Amino acid sequence: MKIDTSSYLLYFVLVLTGGILGYLISQANHPFHQIIITIESSMPLETQLFYDTGKNFNENDSIRKVIYEANTPVVLDFEFSGPNLFGLRFDPSRSPAKIKIHEIVLLYQDEKPFAVPLDSLKAVNDIKSLHYNGETVTIETTKTAADPILYLTRLGPAPRLTPFIIITRILASAVVALGMAFLIVWVYRNGLRV
């Protein structure tokens, strides 16, 4: 098929548009994620989950949840959105307490649930003991605990917006646009023949 200048122009404009659209989509997509923690505490307390989306752990990227009922398993459902997740930090209380974690499940959008191995929790601050019995993990904070901190060292298929993903999306959009350009040129060439 002989291709003239106008066809080249059309191809170029559509591929460029497709590429730009692909880039915009890759930047605008903010999937939702859930962290579900089944927890039991010896007393009512306030917990806080920090998520690092590339800005390190900070107060703005955190969620607080209160356990009002002592000695009863409570399910805490934390939700946040973002294209990246680099780390999770769980502050189980702001005061001395004995806490039992039954389960931690990470639910990333479009991924299967990931059950965090409880033996992978890492005590960072104000934690007196951290004991895993094969089913649950029991945490005891220090008597003067003001800010007990746990790190989740296993995050499963955590979302990452890598340059590879961005480039792949740009290329995919450009290919779709190129296909459309071929279709339009084909229609233009053949559609009006008598």
Partner 1 sequence: MKKHLVFLSLFIVFLIYFVWNSSWHLPSQLVIKGQTASPMAVRVNWDSGSGFNDMESVDLVFGKSVAANAGSGIVRIRRVGKSHPAAKSTEVWVKALKRSQDEHPMDLKAFTEQRGIEMTAEGYLHLKADGSELQVSAGRGYIEFCFVANEIAGFVEIDLDGDKRLYDLYAEQPQDKWLKRDRETFAPGNFTARVSLPRYDINRIQIEAMDGLQAFRLDTVTILSKKGELTLPVRGKGLFSDITFSEVPRNTRQFFHAIQFIQQFGFAALCTHILFCLLRFIRSRGGVKNVLIGQKRIVFWLMFSGAFLCFSFWLLAYWPGHLTSDSIHIWWAAKNPGYFLHEHPFINILYYRFLQQIWDNFAVVGLFQMFATSLLGSYIFYNLYKNGLPFILIIPFYLWLITSVPIGLYNITLWKDIPFALLVVFWAYYFVRLRLTKLNDCNKEPQMGFFTLFFMLLCVSLFRYNGLIYLILIPLGLAVNQRIALKKIAVVSLLVLLIAVASILFTSIMAKHDFVLGMTKKFTVRLLNTNFIININNIAKNYPHFFDDQNKYTWYRDDEFVKWHNAFAKDKKYNDFVKYQDYRPKSEAIFNFLNGFMRSSHIRPYVWLSWNPFYLLYLFLLGFFYKWFPLVFAYGYVLLTQTFFILMFLLAFSVSTSFDWRYNYYLFLSGFFLIPLVMLDIKGNWQKHLMKA
72 near partner 1 (CB under 8 A): yes
In angstroms and rounded to an integer, the radius of gyration of the C-alpha atoms of the chain is: 25
147 near partner 1 (CB under 8 A): no
Which of residues 3, 9, 146, 167 is near partner 1 by CB under 8 A? 9
Which of residues 20, 29, 42, 46 is near partner 1 by CB under 8 A? 46
Which of residues 10, 149, 150, 174 is near partner 1 by CB under 8 A? 10
* Cβ contact 166:29 at 8 Å: no
Closer of 24 and 171 to partner 1 (Cβ): 24
Which of residues 20, 25, 63, 107 is near partner 1 by CB under 8 A? 107
Q: 158-185: string of b/e by CB count within 10 Å (b at 16+)?
A: bbeeeeeebeebbeebbeebeebbeeeb
Residue 119, C-beta contacts closer than 8 angstroms, at least 6 positions apart? 132, 137
Nearest to 130 by CA among 104, 89, 92, 94: 92
3-state secondary structure 86-114: CEEEEECCCCCCEEEEEEEEEEECCCCCE
Closer of 5 and 60 to partner 1 (Cβ): 5
Closer of 27 and 56 to partner 1 (Cβ): 27
191 near partner 1 (CB under 8 A): yes
Which of residues 2, 28, 164, 190 is near partner 1 by CB under 8 A? 190
Strands 98-108 and 114-115: antiparallel
Residues making contact with partner 1 (CB under 8 A)? 4-6, 9-10, 32, 34, 36-38, 40, 43-46, 65-69, 72-75, 77, 79, 93-95, 102-103, 105, 107, 109, 113, 186-188, 190-194
